[in-house]
Structure 1
Amino acid sequence: MSEHALDSNGRLRHLITLEGLGRQHIEDLLDRACELRLAFADGACGPQLLRGRTIVNLFFEASTRTRSSFELAARRLGATVLNFEMSSSSTSKGETLEDTLATLEAMQADAFVVRHRENGTPERLARHAKRAAVLNAGDGNHAHPTQGLLDALTIRDRHPDFSRLKVTLCGDIRHSRVARSDLHVLGALGTGEIRLCGPAALMPPVDEFPGCRVFEDFDDALSGSDVLIMLRLQRERMAEALVSDEAEYFRRFGLTSERLRHAAPEALVMHPGPMNRGIEIAADVADGPQSVILEQVSNGIPVRMAALASLLGA
């Protein structure tokens, strides 16, 4: 974890990655998310913890779920939200990101939610921030910490003891920032067994996640699994076409209702979205009784509330 992520009192100052964050910080964020989820349940007006604070969304990549979720989280807590339009900003005229951040910080912005195609950009801005908090909403294939947290919360709602779980991630792990944050949070929470599966060209280096079991056969990876996290093909991050035949990919690695029977009887089916139905997951599985995909979406709001409130000391 970045040395800049914690302040001198050990309080979380920025949220850049879950790697090295530690179990206690992660559980504190999940517990707070549960409290806020309850406080805002059924449309209730919960505590306005961020009234008078300003949150700036700096999204250099297109996003629907993450940007909307952060905006709803901030507004429900009473914050003012500025969605910064990159195409019409001074960055298009050559201004550096650091100067953009400094300008907005001078306008009393309290937190920046940053998504960028390049690894390391949120941490770079965190190093430059004088007062404001920086939250990573996804950078390259490096990290997506709030997605990792909401995935962990979705699992914990049904399985509080991670040590008893077998969790399988399947798909384009090599290019996935979600996979990395999921693997970091699953490791921190003491998951019993973590399995990785996908085409060899889409797997990370063997030494990147030494505690995981790697499978070439998806049916073997699924056997007895309690949680299945399906990942889409990240074609926008591939330097070359590593998967040429989508029908063949679905045959080998797509999650179908027949294939799901290899997993534990009530295995959870998860997907961070956006889904490519018929490529990594069949429609009837995505919409089926074991799917918690929409719960993941719902949990994103209290998780992001918890992250914003915790970083701003609210």
Structure 2
Amino acid sequence: MKPTLQLDSHGRLRHLLTLEGLSSELLLQILDEAEIHDQALRGPDKRQATLTGRTVINLFFEPSTRTRSTFELAATRLSADVMNLQIAASSTSKGETLFDTLKTMEAMQADMFVVRHEASGAAHFFAEHAAPGVAILNAGDGRHAHPTQGLLDLFTIRRYKGPDSDCFKKLTVAIVGDVLHSRVARSDIHGLRTLGAKEIRVVAPPTLIPAGIEEMGVKVFHDLDAGLAGADVVMLLRLQKERMLGAFLPSLAEFHRDFGLTRARLAKLKPDTIVMHPGPINRGVEIGGDVAYGPHSLILQQVSHGIAVRMAVMSMILGEPRAPVRAKRRSRR
């Protein structure tokens, strides 16, 4: 395999910046590795020695609770030394450049940076300038990508719609909400396309649909009921008010009326339809409070799966290669 920024000359992960361009074989290898870690996390001893002596720095330029916490927990479970850099109190607030920040942290003998940044392409910048042997893991960059969220979403779908990996070829997935500002939506679409999802839909008002998104192989819907009809998976997106620079919506109430998942809309779906959301949720906006943790919802399972998926990525990049083995998957609910 020809080496890329993300892969070494043997096709092994060197950085994880985006799901775009990764092969289905590699995606399934990551999911299988995550299955192994998920099973281990359910045992009495949750700590593994995989990354003993390694240092992982969480470099978050944007606020985060779920993502930063699960990355920290994942690295700790693998026995890495973990440092969380408080950006608001760091030298970047005094004018230090990203390049200087990277090189300063490298001088502390860090092995991996987990980077979240408001600018699209920031993780790629770090990867392009990182020293040999220093890995970059993208925890979300602008509107561009959130690859581990995409992977944990794929993991969750396979867990509940599998167990075989061909399950994606039978699924219609509806991605609903603020697609325009969503790096999660882009990562999910890349992953679902690579694994052969039967149909991928994006459902939103015209102002929240990126221009040319049809070129990614999705179908666009501006009517929620039509977009949800026959869906096996409904992936809701947080309305990202902090990224909106103009009047994209008349009001939050109107968005909920036209595009919010309510109990009445849920009742029209297939009995085995699953509902997902990357969090944090806006109750009464993209989802009703009585739906968020109802019987169709896998929102909390996604959070739990995020630990195993991030452990898988970290161990595949920094740990010793594991012989390809199909993990025994747990049964569905």
Q: TM-score, normalised by structure 2?
A: 0.91
SS in 2 for 1:157: helix
Question: Which residue does 2:158 correspond to in 1?
Answer: 156
The alignment status of 1:292 with 2:315, answered yes or no, reads no
Q: Distance in 2 between matches of 1:43 and 1:270?
A: 29
Residues 260 and 285, structure 2, Cα contact 8 Å, conserved in 1: yes
* Superposed displacement of residue 294, structure 1: 0.2
Q: Distance in 1 between matches of 2:85 and 2:47?
A: 27
Post-superposition CA distance 1:224-257 (Å, at most 9, x none): 1100001121111112121131111111101011
* Superposed displacement of residue 78, structure 1: 0.3
Question: Which residue does 1:281 correspond to in 2?
Answer: 287
* Superposed displacement of residue 313, structure 1: 3.2
Question: Which residue does 1:73 correspond to in 2?
Answer: 74
**Letter paired with 2:237:** L
SS in 2 for 1:8: coil
Q: Give the 5 Å matches for 1:98-177.
A: 98-130=99-131, 131-160=133-162, 161-177=167-183
* Superposed displacement of residue 262, structure 1: 2.6
**Letter paired with 2:18:** T
Post-superposition CA distance 1:26-80 (Å, at most 9, x none): 1111100000111121442342101110000000000000000000000011011
Out of 268-277 and 100-109, give the one that drifted further: 100-109
Q: Give the 5 Å matches for 1:175-214.
A: 175-207=181-213, 209-214=215-220
Residues 168 and 227, structure 1, Cα contact 8 Å, conserved in 2: yes
Q: Distance in 1 between matches of 2:180 and 2:36?
A: 34
Question: Which residue does 2:96 correspond to in 1?
Answer: 95
Residues 48 and 78, structure 1, Cα contact 8 Å, conserved in 2: yes
Question: Which residue does 1:249 correspond to in 2?
Answer: 255
Q: Distance in 2 between matches of 1:254 and 1:40?
A: 34
Q: Distance in 1 between matches of 2:66 and 2:215?
A: 27
Q: Distance in 1 between matches of 2:37 and 2:239?
A: 33
Residues 235 and 241, structure 1, Cα contact 8 Å, conserved in 2: no
Question: Which residue does 2:32 correspond to in 1?
Answer: 31
* Superposed displacement of residue 98, structure 1: 1.3
Q: Distance in 2 between matches of 1:181 and 1:121?
A: 16
Q: Distance in 1 between matches of 2:196 and 2:127?
A: 29
Q: Distance in 2 between matches of 1:100 and 1:259?
A: 48
Question: Which residue does 2:61 correspond to in 1?
Answer: 60
Residues 169 and 196, structure 1, Cα contact 8 Å, conserved in 2: yes
* Superposed displacement of residue 210, structure 1: 3.9
2:312 counterpart (298, 303, 306) = 306
Q: Distance in 2 between matches of 1:26 and 1:302?
A: 14
**Letter paired with 2:202:** L
Residues 114 and 134, structure 1, Cα contact 8 Å, conserved in 2: yes
Post-superposition CA distance 1:116-171 (Å, at most 9, x none): 00000011000001121000000001000000000000000022210000100010
The alignment status of 1:82 with 2:71, answered yes or no, reads no
Instruction: Give the fraction of aligned pairs with identical amino acids, expressed as a percent.
Output: 55
**Letter paired with 1:313:** G
Out of 241-250 and 177-186, give the one that drifted further: 241-250
SS in 2 for 1:125: helix
Q: Distance in 2 between matches of 1:43 and 1:183?
A: 36
SS in 1 for 2:200: strand
Residues 57 and 84, structure 1, Cα contact 8 Å, conserved in 2: yes
Out of 64-73 and 226-235, give the one that drifted further: 226-235
* Superposed displacement of residue 223, structure 1: 0.8
Q: Distance in 1 between matches of 2:284 and 2:3?
A: 39
**Cα RMSD (Å) of the superposition?**
1.4
Residues 224 and 262, structure 1, Cα contact 8 Å, conserved in 2: no
* Superposed displacement of residue 91, structure 1: 1.7
Unpaired segments ≥5 residues, structure 2:
321-333
Question: Which residue does 2:42 correspond to in 1?
Answer: 41
* Superposed displacement of residue 93, structure 1: 2.4
Q: 1:49 to 1:66 in 2, by over 3 A?
A: same
Residues 3 and 10, structure 2, Cα contact 8 Å, conserved in 1: no
Q: 1:283 to 1:209 in 2, by over 3 A?
A: farther
Give the total of aligned pairs.
314
Q: TM-score, normalised by structure 1?
A: 0.97
